[in-house]
Amino acid sequence: MKKRWLLTAVVLVASTALLAACGSGSTKNSAKSSGSTSKTLNVAALEGGYGSAPWKQVVKDFESANPGVKVKLTIDKKIESIISPKMKAGDYPDVVHLATGRPDGLTETMIKSKGMEDLSDVKNMTIPGEKKKVSDVLMPGFDGTLATEPYGDGKTYMMPMFYAPTGLFYNKALLKANGWTEPKTFSDLMALGEKAKAKGISLFTYSTTGYMDSLTYSLLADIGGKSFFNKAMSYDHDAWSGKDGTQYFNLVGNLVKQSDKTTVANANNENFRKNQQLILDNKALFMPNGTWVTGEMKDAPRAKGFEWGFMALPGVKADTRYAYTYFEQIWVPKQAKNKALAKKFIAFMYSDKATKDFLKGGAVQPVKNITSQLDAEQKQFYGIYDNGAKVLTGSFQSAKAVEGVNMTDTLFGEITSVTNGTKSISQWQQDVVKAADQLRE
């Protein structure tokens, strides 16, 4: 499962040992950081599903374009275990490719300790070897959110990397065989559910409740726009308790009640593929997921003629639909020794050369016209924004740790109770409002 989990309170507590080291570097270290003339750039990167080969090629390309510069690349599937001990001892990498939502919570710890360098100027930098600026090539919607500006102060501390759009996955052949069309609105979706029910097919399923995050974020933005989404992500009381918030709970609550009867039992890390299999077996119509699901299920049996379909979440109104996207982040520690060179390296990440290197490994950068370089299946997924869906990024704002309070556990975890009827929609809303109030205060 490649789904990236959001930060939990437990992670925040466990990460406090690093806070002092990240945020309170001595004057001596700071002076050393700003005065270094070293031409060796230390880059630490997470080895994700794309492997290490693309990173190694990008490093070679950067070194070739910058004679005299040596990039020391440290790449590992558990990069935190390698760099965290060194960071505690005051030895920081110059560039870190590590997203939020990891179990160790290192990136969140750096955010809380204000241990990241301001990268706002990177967007105005000319891409090395090209005439375009970084801001010229970035896809609209991938900056200016809490995912890149974690303090909401208009300053960028993390730059967006590899993205993966989310939406509803389904079997195109099943809809075609029954003469059904993609629902454009939530009303259309529920009406289609009645037609499917008559044929013994469930309207909905979800891999685990964690996968309901992308659906939630998209729907919140659809209901009240990005301003409402940002308020909800900042634990605003009225956002979750008011009319728009109530509409969200009612829509999702009634949708999950149309889930296949086996969904709740299998909505866990061990059996989530069984819920995904429901789509391939024509036992459920739709499930929220990300672009990685086709790879996860590539060897699974499927109904005759099965063909993956993908669409943005139906909107409250047909003309406004959002597709939430996960993306990874790259950043520079405040204690880095080569900040100027680090920023130049990050700007290079958006070059045509680096974009193509990453694409060979299956990693898609959020740059304009990237879809023209993709195969047919990838175009269907990554081209969702070319077909009218609006980009949505970001997640919950960093908050203080409150013992026994976890927003994502409450907002998403309680969905199983709503699905099986052990908790009412209104009770679920009350629990979320209470959690938001505790985290905001």
What number of CA atoms fall less than 13 Å from residue 40's CA on the CB side?
Answer: 7
Q: Which CATH number fits domain 9-164+326-379: 3.30.479.10, 3.40.190.10, 3.40.980.10, 3.30.1300.10?
A: 3.40.190.10
Q: What is the mean pLDDT of residues 309-329?
A: 94
CA torsion sign, 350 to 354 to 359 to 361? negative
Q: Sorting pLDDT into bands at 50, 70 and 90, what band is 20?
A: very low
Distance of CA 104 to the CA centre of its chain: 16
Q: What is the mean pLDDT of residues 118-126?
A: 98
Q: Sorting pLDDT into bands at 50, 70 and 90, what band is 1?
A: low
As a residue count, the chain comes to 441
Residue-level pLDDT at 16 = 41
Task: Name the residue among 116, 135, 151 with its Cα closest to residue 23.
Answer: 116
CATH fold of the domain at 165-324+399-440: D-Maltodextrin-Binding Protein; domain 2 (3.40.190)
Q: Sorting pLDDT into bands at 50, 70 and 90, what band is 32?
A: very low
Is pLDDT at 34 greater than 50 in this prediction?
A: no
Q: What are phi and psi of 391, to 5 degrees?
A: -70, 135
Is pLDDT at 4 greater than 70 in this prediction?
A: no
> What residue spans define the domains of the chain?
9-164+326-379, 165-324+399-440
Query: In this structure, are strands 95-97 and 40-46 parallel, antiparallel, or unpaired?
Result: parallel
Q: Sorting pLDDT into bands at 50, 70 and 90, what band is 420?
A: very high
Is pLDDT at 104 greater than 90 in this prediction?
A: no
Query: In this structure, are strands 308-311 and 159-171 parallel, antiparallel, or unpaired?
Result: antiparallel
9-164+326-379 shares its CATH topology with 165-324+399-440: yes
Q: What is the mean pLDDT of residues 418-429?
A: 98
Residue-level pLDDT at 17 = 42
For residue range 219-261, list pLDDT tens digits in order: 999 999 999 999 999 999 999 999 999 999 999 999 999 999 9
Task: Name the residue among 256, 257, 274 with its Cα closest to residue 265.
Answer: 274
Residue-level pLDDT at 3 = 52
SS3 171: strand
Q: What is the mean pLDDT of residues 278-285?
A: 99
Q: What are phi and psi of 113, to 5 degrees?
A: -85, 0
Residues 6+ apart with CB under 8 A from 372: none
SS3 231: helix
For residue range 290-318, list pLDDT tens digits in order: 988 998 999 999 999 999 999 999 999 88
Residues 6+ apart with CB under 8 A from 369: none
Q: How far apart are CA 38 and CA 42, in angstroms?
A: 10
